Chain A
Amino acid sequence: MHSGDHDPESGGHDHGHHHHHGHNHDHSELDEMELRVRALESLLTEKGYIDPPALDALIETYEKQVGPRNGAAVVARAWNDPGFMKMLRDDATAAISSMNFVGRQGEHMVAVENTPGTHNMVVCTLCSCYPWPVLGLPPVWYKSPAYRSRAVIEPRSVLAEFGVTLPEGTAIKVWDSTAEVRYLVIPQRPAGTGGMSEEDLACLVTRDSMIGTGLALTPDEARAKGLLS
């Protein structure tokens, strides 16, 4: 372990549950990365380039505050409020920022709407671009070579791995996020949800349904998963 004036663990975040690593499997990627990252953080702190409490605040933001529930609230409102849906179609950045979901990796938003004949799916073949303010940080599969390579050339086989089969004749639109524009899929509103509140509707909207690798849940599916009472 390094020693230095600044202990990277002094920022108050919880490392406790990871301490079992490193004692059992030497030379693994985990041990190596843990050491290299700590050394870098220690060095950058000593150089005065970073402020460790700011690092904790960054982590806290994406662990606790920003995530797919934001996007679900956007979709539920779009389903419930035709005026908001129109705003989302016309200027998704403005519509989403009206709900206070703003900032890094959501500066330029476009909403793409699934319809009975069209299914949208989002990928970043060149890196890991993802709409952070509405979906949070991307899952590992989204950043994986398997997803990035296959989404554009065989979207149906990708969907099959998610258990999604589209009705015959559905056209798939794959959005490759090559620029700073970020895409949010508005899944189709499930049948039998006419009288539901916006809050309950949001429980039907999964992260994957907003990437386009899933569909919105039916109320029964959401109840079975314990997402809806």
Chain B
Amino acid sequence: MNGPQDLGGAHGFGPLPLEENEPLFHDDWERRVLALTLAMGASGSWNIDASRHARERTPPAEYLSSSYYRIWFEGLVRLIEETGLASTDEIASGRMTEPPKRVKRVLKEADVAAVLAKGGPADRSTETKAQFAVGDRVRARVMNPKGHTRLPRYVRGHTGTIERIHGCHVFPDSAAHGLGDDPQWLYGVVFDAGEVWGEARGGDTLHIDLWEPYLERL
């Protein structure tokens, strides 16, 4: 979606919010949001792509004026409501008024280390052959899907070169919408910064990981 999350190349956000000796969390609720997000993620009720899509559906003005843990919180609430794990009223009151739904797993303390160590690899085996080889010239497609995508706007329509084949990975555009892993070949693509931004940039380059459906052969 052409939402507030797609920030590459935007102007006007000012200087970086640098902080000397920045703490890991600025308040205790941020710690709890991190943990709640990871624990509910481990419940198997949604995948990481659905999580990202839930966050980017935060209304633009709100997204851009929220701290990142707040964006995580709003995304988590949205997922809980949409999957029916709890109602809006329950979330507001903090009290259960409807019986719980079944979740695939409840993350227990004893399993935390193993679950984090295992992570969630995104590579998948495939029968299909990669359509592009290292060195091939490609164009990032011009597309404006209303759903989740990981093709940033700033690179759409620009030409690049395949520099790496990462393997076949879960395709976020499908996985975020409950359409399964739909594995697609994933490439590291290099773009000349001068071509992308329309002015000379010395030898600067942009390196973006893009799935096969985002690319067309030149």
Q: Which A residues are closer than 8 A to B by beta carbons?
A: 2, 4, 8, 13, 15, 18, 21, 29-30, 33-34, 36-44, 46-51, 53-59, 61-63, 102-108, 110, 123, 125-128, 136-137, 139-141, 143-153, 155, 158, 161-162, 169, 171-181
Whether A37 lies near B122 (C-beta < 8 A) is no
Task: Give Cα A107–Cα B10 distance, bound, in whole angstroms.
Answer: 30
Task: Give Cα A38–Cα B32 distance, bound, in whole angstroms.
Answer: 8
Q: Which of A123, A177, A181 has the most CB of B within 10 A?
A: A181
What residue in chain A is nearest B94 (Cβ atoms)?
A: A39
Q: Which of A15, A127, A155 has the most CB of B within 10 A?
A: A127
Whether B17 lies near A146 (C-beta < 8 A) is yes
Question: 7 tightest CB-CB pairs across the interface, nearest first?
Answer: A39-B94, A125-B8, A171-B203, A179-B209, A55-B35, A180-B122, A47-B100
Q: How far is the CB of A226 from chain B (nearest CB, A)?
A: 13
What residue in chain B is nearest A66 (Cβ atoms)?
A: B116
What residue in chain A is nearest B19 (Cβ atoms)?
A: A140
Whether A108 lies near B16 (C-beta < 8 A) is no
Interface: B27 (CB within 8 A): yes
Whether A108 lies near B122 (C-beta < 8 A) is yes
Interface: B206 (CB within 8 A): yes
Interface: B137 (CB within 8 A): no
Whether B70 lies near A33 (C-beta < 8 A) is yes
Whether A33 lies near B107 (C-beta < 8 A) is no
Q: Please indicate the chain B residues that have their CB under 8 angstroms from the CB of A57 in the complex.
A: 109, 112-113
Q: Please indicate the chain A residues that have their CB under 8 angstroms from the CB of B26 in the complex.
A: 140
Whether A146 lies near B35 (C-beta < 8 A) is no
Task: Give Cα A54–Cα B107 distance, bound, in whole angstroms.
Answer: 7
What residue in chain A is nearest B22 (Cβ atoms)?
A: A139
What residue in chain A is nearest B202 (Cβ atoms)?
A: A171
Whether A59 lies near B31 (C-beta < 8 A) is yes
* Contact among A13, A18, A40, A146 for B13, CB-based, below 8 A: A146
Whether A153 lies near B86 (C-beta < 8 A) is no
Q: Please indicate the chain A residues that have their CB under 8 angstroms from the CB of B80 in the complex.
A: 40, 44
- Other than A61-B113, A152-B9, A161-B16, give 13 A-B pairs with Cβ distance below 8 A: A4-B94, A15-B28, A49-B103, A51-B107, A53-B109, A62-B24, A102-B117, A126-B152, A140-B19, A146-B13, A169-B202, A173-B207, A176-B152
Interface: B64 (CB within 8 A): yes
Q: Please indicate the chain A residues that have their CB under 8 angstroms from the CB of B34 in the complex.
A: 58-59, 62, 137
Q: Which of A4, A136, A172 has the most CB of B within 10 A?
A: A172
Task: Give Cα A8–Cα B32 distance, bound, in whole angstroms.
Answer: 9
Whether A39 lies near B197 (C-beta < 8 A) is no
Q: Known: A47-B100, A181-B209. Is A29-B109 also a contact (CB below 8 A)?
A: no
Task: Give Cα A107–Cα B118 distance, bound, in whole angstroms.
Answer: 8
Q: Please indicate the chain A residues that have their CB under 8 angstroms from the CB of B91 in the complex.
A: 39-40, 43
Whether B36 lies near A50 (C-beta < 8 A) is yes
Task: Give Cα A18–Cα B28 distance, bound, in whole angstroms.
Answer: 7
* Contact among A13, A49, A150 for B100, CB-based, below 8 A: A49
Whether A39 lies near B92 (C-beta < 8 A) is yes
Q: Please indicate the chain A residues that have their CB under 8 angstroms from the CB of B127 in the complex.
A: none
